Amino acid sequence: MHHERPRKLITTRVTYDRTKNIARILLTDYTDEDVARWKGLAEHDIEGEFTFGFDKGGRLLGVEVRFASQGLPPDFLDDADPV
């Protein structure tokens, strides 16, 4: 008999600054000081500018999306925490 181990619920947080049109998808709680480097996505088929934040160990902390309203669904942004 195969038993699946219980899956942990992944929690993310999304913030959206309507004035600056910037969304952040936080995969974990972090501050800007925790980010060792930001790496932009050079080519993609989605509108907006996607930048990935990594810690010193190379783990992805979150994604920042500039011009978010052009590339992310409106209902996704409506549900985001305002900044």
Q: What is the DSSP string of 32-76?
A: GGG--EEEE--S-SSSSEEEEEE-TTS-EEEEEEETHHHHS-HHH
Answer whether residue 1 shows pLDDT above 60: no
Mean pLDDT of 52-71: 93
Mean pLDDT of 50-62: 92
45 against 59, higher pLDDT = 59
Of 14 and 30, the one with more pLDDT: 14
pLDDT (tens digit per residue) in 25-52 = 999 888 888 899 989 876 666 788 999 9
From residue 26, give the alpha-carbon distance in Å to each of 4, 54, 61.
Answer: 28, 11, 6
* Structure tokens given for 8: 């942990």
Helix (H, G, I), strand (E, B) or coil at 77: helix
